[in-house]
Structure 1
């Protein structure tokens, strides 16, 4: 497989400022690119999932085979154990992050995606790098709004 991704999410508090880090590599062409973004208020799981979404969105050709390495059991198990497809059938009722899961599924269905869970903070070079850029994004001065999270907070507050 030529395309691999390492993804990670970070949240400084849960919820709190957060960020994702995504590394895409074409192992045949020896090309590596990185993306990250910070958010002013989000959760770790949202950033883990956002990192994967970004990896898939960056693929230019449909049906690209990609192996995604993540230290998120939340993301890896939801897909590999096919839970997310059951959640989708039930309209994500009672599930967190439906906005991101729906966005993920759109991208997921465009490609041939497999996941590999890796232990976080265990010395894997690219997992460590994805973590570094996710944390740096969370700590940056360029934090944007995670509308899906903040809108849900407003709804849950009962204020509007």
Structure 2
């Protein structure tokens, strides 16, 4: 028999009031958070609390996550980080190290992970997302969230008192074990969402390859010239959630991310190409998430 649970995290502002939550069923769930944290802290802590509360579980445990960062941190990158003394490939400290080390101690052979698409109607994922977001909202309102019953007769552990180390960007850049080019690409992609850059056509032009093109979320095909003529600051703030970063042959990096704005989300992919000593976006595509 396998127990199936979903784990999720949420942060208002990233960093900001943050929450985590995991859900098995109406009788087995938990949530918590902090006054100040990041989305990735929430994602990792949801898994950590679930593992700790099911430490004596004889059955297999399948953990559903919509965060590639959480899954890859635990299943792919952690052994290398540990061998290097909890350092990444460039010698920099691993982000969220307190939580990562606690996860390393809590992991066991009968635990498996599976990625699920977020905000897509998956019942368990939606429940975990609701718990994490409610916890973040509670801290934003100055109150403690409902902790939940935990897992059966096992009492909930002490509060997870983790702190934000460094900039919020450090969490997103931890999506790749070998930072550098990928880190730059994520930062440049994020800059294209800022009013400071979007209000300066020259700044945008420097980031777009001469042969740049886009297929927008409406299906319209944009040329570089059309984009530079019409680009302007976004009406609403859009949060960038990294889903995957891949190196491609020929000095290319593929970035797949989710843009989350008020009432909608869009799946986006960008191809960045090294041009001399800098990176420029070569292609971009957006698809409304349903």
TM-score scaled by length of structure 2: 0.46
Give 1:70's aligned residue.
65
Give 2:251's aligned residue.
none
Hey, what's the Cα distance between the residues in 1 that align with 2:14 and 2:53? 27
Hey, what's the Cα distance between the residues in 2 that align with 1:52 and 1:148? 14
Give 1:2's aligned residue.
2
Give 1:114's aligned residue.
112
* 2:162 is the alignment partner of 1:148: yes
Give 2:16's aligned residue.
16
Matches within 5 A, 1:17-36: 17-24=17-24, 32-36=27-31
Cα distance, 1:16 vs. partner? 0.5
Cα distance, 1:113 vs. partner? 1.0
Give 1:157's aligned residue.
none
Q: Secondary structure at the match of 2:47?
A: helix
Give 2:103's aligned residue.
104
1:84 corresponds, among 75, 78, 89, to 78
4+ residue runs over 2 A deviation: 145-148
Hey, what's the Cα distance between the residues in 1 that align with 2:71 and 2:55? 23
Give 1:38's aligned residue.
33
Hey, what's the Cα distance between the residues in 2 that align with 1:119 and 1:51? 17
Give 1:156's aligned residue.
none
* 2:118 is the alignment partner of 1:124: no
Hey, what's the Cα distance between the residues in 1 that align with 2:104 and 2:118? 24
**Which structure ranks higher in relative contact order (CA pairs < 8 Å, sequence separation ≥ 6)?**
1
> Judging changes above 3 Å, is the alpha-carbon distance between structure 1 residues 60 and 99 closer, same or farther for their aligned structure 2 residues?
closer
What whole-Å deviation, never above 9, does each CA across 1:30-81 have from its counterpart, x for those lacking one?
A: x74110012100000010000000111111526642110000100112233x
1:55 corresponds, among 50, 55, 60, to 50
More helix by share: 1
Q: Secondary structure at the match of 1:130?
A: helix
Q: Secondary structure at the match of 1:148?
A: coil
Contact 1:24 1:55 in 2 (8 A): no
Unaligned runs of 5+ in 1: 26-30, 154-160
RMSD over aligned CA atoms reads 2.1
Hey, what's the Cα distance between the residues in 2 that align with 1:120 and 1:134? 13
Contact 1:17 1:139 in 2 (8 A): yes
Q: Secondary structure at the match of 2:62?
A: strand
Q: Secondary structure at the match of 2:163?
A: helix
Hey, what's the Cα distance between the residues in 2 that align with 1:97 and 1:115? 20
Contact 1:6 1:22 in 2 (8 A): yes
* 2:151 is the alignment partner of 1:137: no
Contact 2:24 2:124 in 1 (8 A): no
Largest Rg, 1 or 2: 2
> Judging changes above 3 Å, is the alpha-carbon distance between structure 1 residues 101 and 63 closer, same or farther for their aligned structure 2 residues?
farther
